[in-house]
Chain A
């Protein structure tokens, strides 16, 4: 208990109270994240309902295979992070360390795939906003045919949504890196593992937002 006592802040009465408070705080933060993305989902819904044919056409330019690969990668990372919480509760910290590193690698893989997707778009003149000027032919698709009114809106929404989602993945990577060093230094025990649990909650949210982004942007 002595190690656990140093983790109890003076303004809390018990570990249960402290843990519950931290968890409720994180859930509320996740609510704010959902509302942040909700604004973009609304923008997507509005423009899609006004120009469904343009959105359908423009979405052909996104490679659904890369999107699907990233979906699998993120789902795998959600599994590893959930397992890490399971093992930290059991006190098996070597497994926790391994699983957090695996999660970090999945997140990195996601960003690498995203890098190739973005650079491919940029190299064919697909930029958010004013620079939008599609050109070139890939997979038999003549990109210049996609320069139609409101196609820029589709790609603006695509870049803003996946961009802000990507920032969240980067933040998650930073948190997993920080967690890994703390696990290695033996900071967590079955009595106190709040940061692992909270990071896990955050990561599931990042994951679930992608689960909605993928079909809306790539598939329909």
Chain B
């Protein structure tokens, strides 16, 4: 076939052909570039935060600058990286091909989503840089936000606009999965990544409008003093927290569900066997999506919520552990007696298992009422959500990027460099955040720019903070190494074959090394499940491991 020469990357030329593309694969690349840039920005800010905290006393940031830097770190990482990244990059790239469709259901809306996302991103960063500094934290709690500078107007508008990008992406994927599946692609044959993106779409569509209206009300609060949230005007700040977490807790599942989908695909492919409990993993994604709407009150145990509602929210929070546990046990079972192939993507899948399990179990701990009163707003919580957000969502993303990299770019990355980077990331991450569990359980509060005065009582804070900062540098080096070998691979990497991992989903079995502009030459007829490796080489041709 002439696939080699003609593919989606070279079908059209020029910057404008990218900026006006409606091809879901190219839009995925657009998201990759944008999210990559924001991840770099958020990472640099994180390094500032850790450097400031590395030693007691003022190191590089004054207390106001510190507050502003961690605020922008949070806003950028949550709204511009973790929420959009996996659906935007990998969902766009892989989902339509995985179900045998030529594109998503609404390609122009898909491009519009990217532009909305970019508009939101530019508003957020410009507002912060040029209009005024914001030190509210990423949560914009009133009365912090009602007292902060007018840049809050820019950031709330940014979240509103970027929120619509998220809504339209989710809507697009739901309709695509419902209406665009190829003949034979039954719900029982959907790859688990597609299932996860589908469940994520449900959360995006149902939760995001609520942050939209919250941001409108906060905007009007700031602009016209409408008195809904600001206690000085008769408003109720706890109402803001309810609204905010009604979105932002489900948003945690917008972040983690797609990563869980990636891990499911990686576990099946690199263990070379049927994913254990396929139906349970698929439906537990949907279960998490729905249960996620019932637990927002666990962010407000100490915010004056009634004891009864706190107890109910606490109990519902424990329930989330059930579908999550189902996934973790099934992933482990998938590897059992499989022929596990330890390539870089699989290393990240194993890392995810380890880190996410810590993140999830500490989540249950802070969901316990009595324990939370002690741990609330301490570094324990910071460590917990970084284990979920970074150790879960971002590690899943990095694993997925390695997995789909050959299909996206047509080139292989250097396996040795990949392994070294994975080890650096693993060591750096744990050194950075595991120490923070100790700090938090000893009572070090989050969002403090200095802990000198605590050292009399807790002299160990100095060593633990220093260790955490050193860990963050190791983590940074590992991530930069990934950037370096990814860029090298882009230009100099060896050409990839159509199916370097011997995977059995359509994007590997039914397209060339780099997919064609319209994905398939003819509509695939699906006759097998996504992880059916039985006689796979006979059906799809022998797997060709150009790397090994």
**In the assembled complex, which residues on chain A have CB atoms less than 8 Å from the CB atom of B175?**
21, 24-25, 28
Known: A13-B523, A36-B213. Is A25-B171 also a contact (CB below 8 A)? yes
B224 within 8 A of A: yes
B330 within 8 A of A: no
Q: Tell me the minimal C-beta distance from B173 to chain A in angstroms.
A: 10
B134 within 8 A of A: no
**In the assembled complex, which residues on chain B have CB atoms less than 8 Å from the CB atom of A156?**
220, 226-228
Q: For the complex, would chain B's binding face be called helix, strand, loop or mixed by DSSP majority?
A: helix
Q: Complex formed: what's the CA distance from A60 to B436 in Å?
A: 57
Instruction: Decide: B220 and A129 in contact? CB cutoff 8 A.
Output: yes
Interface size on B, residues (CB 8 A): 41
Within 8 A of B (CB), among A11-64: 11-13, 17, 20-22, 24-25, 28-29, 31-33, 35-40, 42-43, 46-47
Of the 9-residue stretches B7-15, B231-239, B458-466, which lies at the interface with chain A? B231-239
**In the assembled complex, which residues on chain A have CB atoms less than 8 Å from the CB atom of B225?**
129-130
- A161-200 vs B, CB cutoff 8 Å, 1 = contact: the mask equals 0001000000000000000000000000000000000000
Instruction: Decide: B171 and A29 in contact? CB cutoff 8 A.
Output: yes
Instruction: Decide: A32 and B208 in contact? CB cutoff 8 A.
Output: yes
Instruction: Decide: A153 and B234 in contact? CB cutoff 8 A.
Output: yes
Instruction: Decide: A128 and B224 in contact? CB cutoff 8 A.
Output: yes
- Interface band, chain A: 35 or more
Instruction: Decide: B103 and A11 in contact? CB cutoff 8 A.
Output: yes
Instruction: Decide: B226 and A36 in contact? CB cutoff 8 A.
Output: no
Known: A39-B214, A152-B234. Is A20-B179 also a contact (CB below 8 A)? yes
Instruction: Decide: B518 and A31 in contact? CB cutoff 8 A.
Output: no
B105 within 8 A of A: yes
Instruction: Decide: A149 and B214 in contact? CB cutoff 8 A.
Output: no
Q: Tell me the minimal C-beta distance from A129 to chain B in angstroms.
A: 4
**In the assembled complex, which residues on chain B have CB atoms less than 8 Å from the CB atom of A131?**
224
Instruction: Decide: A25 and B105 in contact? CB cutoff 8 A.
Output: yes
- B223-251 vs A, CB cutoff 8 Å, 1 = contact: the mask equals 01111100001111001000100000000
A157 within 8 A of B: yes
**In the assembled complex, which residues on chain A have CB atoms less than 8 Å from the CB atom of B106?**
21, 25
Q: Complex formed: what's the CA distance from A152 to B495 in Å?
A: 67
Contact partner of A39 (CB less than 8 A), chosen from B101, B178, B243, is B243
Instruction: Decide: A39 and B213 in contact? CB cutoff 8 A.
Output: yes
Instruction: Decide: A33 and B209 in contact? CB cutoff 8 A.
Output: yes
- B175-218 vs A, CB cutoff 8 Å, 1 = contact: the mask equals 11011100000000000000000000000011111101110110
Q: Complex formed: what's the CA distance from A18 to B216 in Å?
A: 34
- Chain A residue nearest to B24 (CB atoms) is A11
A150 within 8 A of B: yes
Q: Tell me the minimal C-beta distance from A16 to chain B in angstroms.
A: 10
Of the candidates A43, A157, A159, the one having the most CB atoms from chain B within 10 angstroms of its own CB is A43
Q: Complex formed: what's the CA distance from A217 to B102 in Å?
A: 48
Instruction: Decide: B210 and A130 in contact? CB cutoff 8 A.
Output: no
Instruction: Decide: A153 and B179 in contact? CB cutoff 8 A.
Output: no
Known: A43-B228, A152-B234, A160-B220. Is A38-B210 also a contact (CB below 8 A)? yes
Q: Complex formed: what's the CA distance from A24 to B172 in Å?
A: 10
Instruction: Decide: A32 and B213 in contact? CB cutoff 8 A.
Output: no
**In the assembled complex, which residues on chain B have CB atoms less than 8 Å from the CB atom of A32?**
167, 171, 205-206, 208-209
Q: Complex formed: what's the CA distance from A160 to B175 in Å?
A: 32
B353 within 8 A of A: no
Within 8 A of B (CB), among A44-86: 46-47
Instruction: Decide: A129 and B213 in contact? CB cutoff 8 A.
Output: no
B124 within 8 A of A: no
Instruction: Decide: A149 and B234 in contact? CB cutoff 8 A.
Output: yes
Q: Complex formed: what's the CA distance from A25 to B209 in Å?
A: 15
Instruction: Decide: B228 and A153 in contact? CB cutoff 8 A.
Output: yes
Instruction: Decide: A11 and B102 in contact? CB cutoff 8 A.
Output: yes
Q: Complex formed: what's the CA distance from A33 to B174 in Å?
A: 17
Instruction: Decide: B220 and A21 in contact? CB cutoff 8 A.
Output: no
Q: Complex formed: what's the CA distance from A201 to B224 in Å?
A: 33
Q: Complex formed: what's the CA distance from A46 to B210 in Å?
A: 16
**In the assembled complex, which residues on chain B have CB atoms less than 8 Å from the CB atom of A128?**
220, 224, 226
- Chain A residue nearest to B523 (CB atoms) is A13
Q: Complex formed: what's the CA distance from A28 to B235 in Å?
A: 32
B529 within 8 A of A: no
Of the candidates A22, A28, A37, A149, the one having the most CB atoms from chain B within 10 angstroms of its own CB is A28
Q: Tell me the minimal C-beta distance from A205 to chain B in angstroms.
A: 13
7 A-B residue pairs with Cβ-Cβ distance under 8 Å, sorted by A, are A11-B102, A17-B179, A21-B176, A28-B175, A36-B210, A39-B209, A152-B234
Starting from the known contacts A32-B205, A35-B207, 7 additional A-B residue pairs (CB-CB under 8 Å) come to A28-B175, A39-B209, A39-B214, A130-B224, A130-B233, A150-B234, A153-B227
Give me the 6 closest cross-chain CB pairs, A-B, nearest first: A39-B213, A156-B226, A129-B224, A35-B209, A130-B225, A11-B103
